[in-house]
Homo-oligomer: A and B are copies of this chain.
């Protein structure tokens, strides 16, 4: 009498899966979103590992390697969730290879400091964006996404190193400020491309028959928030946005 059916304990993130995912278009959108974040984490791992090569010291290299490993840890959680939802994690990630790879190809840092700024600004922007979308999701998916965004690139280490470099040579600040603006531009242009190509994902933002969504004005406000947060991050690094 007290046993759960099939012995499943209805606790934790998996509990709400059956209810929220009865709508197949919702399921498709979440799989798309998790696929995008998962590919983003994996490519962040790759890029941080690559950028670590430019580290001036072994200690600096270890900091970047730690960020890379953190991103990979997030990836593992997302992959598991995709599998739990009955999706092939790598199929879910595949549509996002091109836009993420294009972003990284267009924003390959030319030195260690550009790599740090990219980690900080890019990670922060992605986190903001996904957090906004997560607000429209079931609790289990939302919690997983919030966890996956746990500030891999937002370390005080980056702030200290970038500010220190600007103190040593103020021209560095001008160059990195331009770099930050370019990162933001490239990120928005790839995000637009994704939104245009992935119907399920953009449907999630604009809502459905019985699901609230964002109208054009709300999407405008979203972009304002993203831009404001980006400026705040640049300021924290000592850079003009």
Q: Which A residues form the contact surface with B (CB < 8 A)?
A: 39, 42, 45-46, 49-50, 52-53, 57-59, 61-62, 65-66, 68-69, 72-73, 75-76, 79, 90, 93-94, 97
Question: What's the Cα separation between A156 and B94 when bound, in Å?
Answer: 25
Q: Is the CB of A90 within 8 A of B46?
A: no
Q: Is the CB of A61 within 8 A of B76?
A: no
Q: Is the CB of B46 within 8 A of A62?
A: no
Oligomer copy total = 2
Question: What's the Cα separation between A119 and B62 when bound, in Å?
Answer: 20
Question: What's the Cα separation between A72 and B49 when bound, in Å?
Answer: 11
- Which of B57, B69, B90, B97 is the one whose CB lies under 8 Å from A59? B90
Q: Is the CB of A52 within 8 A of B46?
A: yes
Main secondary structure on chain A at its contact with chain B?
helix
Minimal beta-carbon separation of A90 from chain B (angstroms)? 4
User: Taking CB as reference atom, which chain B residue is nearest A58?
Assistant: B90
- Which of B39, B46, B62, B97 is the one whose CB lies under 8 Å from A75? B62
Q: Is the CB of A65 within 8 A of B45?
A: yes
Q: Is the CB of B45 within 8 A of A49?
A: yes
When A42-B58, A49-B46, A90-B58 are in contact, do A72 and B76 touch as well, CB less than 8 Å? no
Minimal beta-carbon separation of A192 from chain B (angstroms)? 24
Question: What's the Cα separation between A79 and B79 when bound, in Å?
Answer: 30
Q: Is the CB of A42 within 8 A of B69?
A: no
Q: Is the CB of B62 within 8 A of A79?
A: yes
Contacts A/B (CB < 8 Å), 28 sampled: A39-B58, A42-B58, A42-B61, A42-B62, A42-B65, A45-B49, A45-B65, A45-B69, A46-B65, A49-B49, A49-B50, A50-B50, A58-B90, A58-B94, A58-B97, A59-B90, A62-B75, A62-B90, A65-B72, A65-B75, A66-B72, A66-B76, A68-B68, A68-B69, A68-B72, A69-B69, A69-B72, A69-B73
B residues less than 8 Å from A39 (CB atoms): 58
User: Taking CB as reference atom, which chain B residue is nearest A73?
Assistant: B69
Q: A46-B53, A58-B93, A62-B90 are in contact. List 17 more A-B contacts (CB 8 A).
A: A42-B58, A45-B49, A46-B65, A49-B49, A49-B68, A57-B90, A58-B90, A58-B94, A58-B97, A59-B90, A66-B76, A68-B68, A68-B69, A68-B72, A69-B69, A69-B72, A69-B73
